[in-house]
Structure 1
Amino acid sequence: MYRLLIVDDEEMITDGLYETLSRCGLDLDLCKAYSGREALDWLHRTRVDIVLSDIRMPGIDGMQLMSAIKRHWPHCRLIFLTGYSDFDAVYQAIQTPGVQYLLKSEGYPKVIHAVGQAVAELNDSLRVNDLIHRAQEKLNTLEVLARGEYFRHLLHGANEAANLAEDFGKLNIPLDADRPVYVAQGDLSGISAALSSYANRHESAMAVTLLAERLLDGHVLCLGMIDRFGDVVWLIQTSADRAEAGEDEADDASFPTYLVGQFELIQQACLSSLNLSVAVTLADRPSNWPKLSATYDKLRRQRQTRAGDGEQMVRTLSLEVSCCVKERSPRDKSDALSAHLEAGRRDEFLQLFDELTDTEPDNGSPYLLELYYTISLILLSYINRWELENQVVRFPALMRRDEFASWKDAFAFLRATAGSLFELRSTGERNRAAEAILKVRAYIEEHLDEDLSLVRLAGYIHFNPSYLSRLFKQACGVNMSEYIEAARIERAKTLLKGDDLKVLEIGVRVGYEASQSFTRFFKKATGVTPQEFRDAVRT
């Protein structure tokens, strides 16, 4: 339903228009004001879609009102009524998009027609199916995918605020990393069973995202994305020109009212164009980037406390009570903990673990119980997957919280267990590296007469050549080529001590097809030729 505001300093005209339009059959929410100042109060309190106003009024006149309307509600249609032939005002009005001009003498039928036309224009602006189809190519670009993945990373607990400006630049993100941001969350849980498949739900969520960006475009800085739950999240800042004028989000009390009104329009557009109901929860003030994740979590938690079915609700959430990590569900952080464990990021895991468990002891806390078993399950899953149960001390205690006298002892056990898993991983990596090097060295000893190129040896143990070269030098202290030459020379010395083979044959046995090459390398390593070495060991 659109909201129409009637403004005239003559009460009889205002009341007459109100009564006439209330009976005209248009589905409108009617409001009235008897002065420009009272009209401004309406504009500051709620979204207004159509304004029917006199031009000439004492105090704030129609032209000043038009400026305020375009600043606060840029999609609003304006119909001017006047009994004066004020050419300058009329000329200015008709040059402004979304503005109509009528003489009061033209009567109510003309007014009703003009209001109907304004309603039709608003409906047209909300029919965006063709826009969504045209934007389909945009959905598939790597840039859009990268942006969504990046912000999902931030929303779900990544602590990377220090690199925001650099990241925003690389990803062409249309937000200012130095200014706080409003967060709004759209709940699509009322989606019909016919759209319950992942592909349909994702497509619907993207359609809602694009539609909102279309209606907010040009008036705010906005980026929409889909969170891991399949719902829509918008990050919003005031427009660049307002920022340049020095208007701070935190001090702009009218901006949340504007956002509430715009999201009402977005809901109406989603219902009429997409046949989707969207409930919106909006933070009442901007959030600093380091607190983005906590603010988002607080918005999600409010879904459990909404009134009725919540459909078509735009709810404003107060952020006066600061959000902190321990207010969050442990499940919200479990993915990050698990990712750090799987990737072997010890420092990041322990830092997040300490943040989560830095809480006052409370033996009856359901949160701490959930936290304990959430972390335990992460560790248990890792242990089972890598078959480490025989290498972890007190492994069964992971699922027996009652074995510990206090929460401090319980979490200390979990931390120690995590530390041992990282150590086992590190030890395992070192052991596997040592085993690989032993395997390579054994292969070299057994195939000194063959091609022992780095490429062949790397293929033998399924490593890439550069990595094998670096790993071999770390383990043995010499380059692989030096090791192979030394092994060939030592084998040659052993064979030269016997009388069974000629010097030429020995050279072939250790990988030198040409006798000159064998002699040159042997003398470089020992200071004598192969024959001189044989003669010396015989005497």
Structure 2
Amino acid sequence: MYSILIVDDERFERDGVKFLIDKYGLALEIAEAASGEEALQYIAEHPIDILLTDIRMREMDGLQLAEQVRSLRPSAKIIFLSAYGEFEYAQKAIHLQAIQYILKPVDVTDFLDVLMKAMQMLQEEERAQQSLRQESQKSIQWEKHRILADLLRSGGDAGALTDGDPRHALLPWHQVLPNGDLSGERRYRMMMLDTRQRFFDSADPEFERSLTEWLPYPSSIINMNEYQSLILLEVEADEPAERFGELGREIMAWFKAQSRQEISVIVSEAFGDAEGMRDEYRKVEAILESKFFYEEGGVRLTATLAEQPVDTQSIEQTLEEINELIERGEFGLVRTRFEALFDHLKNSDRFSVIYVKYICSEIVRSILKSTKTKDLDFFKQSLETIYKTAVLKDLRGVMTAIFEAYGAQLTPASPSQPPESVHKVVADVIQIIEREYRSELSVELIAERVYLTPSYLSHLFAKQTGLSLIKYLTMHRLAKAKALLQETNRKIIDISHDVGYSNFPYFCTLFKNYYGKTPTQIREGNLP
């Protein structure tokens, strides 16, 4: 609700204005003053949005009052109300940027129109300021991302990234780290938030503020891309890792309550310098690359990466035991031994995804050899299904179904529609991108269209094209944007929306990083 201060040395005039505001239901909080001096005293203690003042008053008149109000409250909307229409008054009112000079007796319709105009102006300014704050927050977020990337690539001299570098004049170093110090005197931890649904590029700035206020440590939040956000925490050197595992679970619950989405959290060990930060970030990336083994919505610690050496010998021994059981037809024991093997693999990144799928394919091969009827089609389809799985629990389900089918002495039925080849899947994905790049496409949405899981589709696409699916989509959108910039005179913000980016600063950052030129420079002929 906006506030209005009514200033007139005649009480009945003030009462008349209040009566009109109340009668016509204008959403205004009303205050009043009987003189210019009283009004100034009120304004010094209370912000006001609208000043409605008579001109001719004893001692300080309305023009003198308005001049001081313009200095104290520059955004206040000033309306003069007077029985005198002298040109000199009107001229001074214009100089003081009054929105209206109303003569008494007041026409009710005109009076209401003036107040509504003032309220509309306030609303428009409020929206503009809010939009400016949001764009500023987004720009700062992407600048923080760029500075972090520079730090992770640099040789360890954090100061070199800011001293004399005009690229970082916009953002002090302390906005990347909670206290801007990588000298080794402070200790930090990273927490990577990872979601399978696009979120962080379109998150409201209020989300970052709320999370920062909720966290129990000084923190800085950097949105890495649409699916991941990095939290840097300043911590005590002797705090146990278990405390941050628990904090990770609390963040998961907080995030789900705020966004109704599941996330995974990766927690680093403590570090105090740039080299330690890079080492921990590499560990975080390693865990992200091995998401196949983990349940969605879990917490992982980088400290667990090197806890145990890779032991393929015990895996090979278990595989031999399973093969012997298959030869004897003891499928019940096969399943039991296999379940034990997968319990060993669960929540472990010590084996490659390909190696685990190789183990499963060898088990299926042994089953085929042990059966009297060699169902080659089923064998091929089983192998393809194994290599399509995106997470360990899905692979376990596929293998369990195979054991049940053979254990029950059933001939598995071939699916009514055999799976499409990798080439066909990738071609379909490319067609979807080319047709629908303007819409809010994501890996999840595309995966649903081609009947694959997101992580497996990403693996297939990268293997076939040499590019991640997200990178290919980004390149296609930016190429379309560049063509529109060079071939049309459309507004750049409209082009951003046309190629699928509703977040304009994010679009400009991507474009500049990819082409080395801003959209404006490309339009002006500075071609790469």
TM-score bracket for the superposition, by shorter chain length: 0.3 to 0.5
Greater Cα radius of gyration, structure 1 or 2 = 1
What TM-score results when the alignment is normalised by the length of structure 2?
A: 0.33
Instruction: State the TM-score, normalizing by the size of structure 1.
Output: 0.32
